[in-house]
Amino acid sequence: MLAFCDYIADRIKVCLQYNDPHELLDSIGKVRPDLNEDGSFKSTRKALEVTDRNGKRYQVIVTEL
């Protein structure tokens, strides 16, 4: 069965970028895959970092259950 972590993480990123009517977010980072030290894929988990306008950083993680 396919995992849709890539798709879901991308949709979250796009929605955050274009749907912030109160302009509370300062930056939204790239979607990062979960990699081993050698660069190979560890899991389908995806993460992205978001910074609000006060400089507080958040990590959004999409993972299969």
Residue 43 CA to residue 41 CA, distance in Å, equals: 6
Predicted local confidence at residue 25, as pLDDT: 97
Q: Residue 50: which of 42, 41, 61 has the closest Cα?
A: 61
State the total domains in the chain.
1
Contacts of 15 (CB under 8 A, 6+ apart): none
Given a cut of 80, whether residue 1 has pLDDT beyond it is no
The residue segments making up the domain with residue 20 are: 5-62
How does pLDDT run across 25-58, given as a tens digit for each residue?
A: 999 999 999 999 999 999 999 999 999 999 999 9
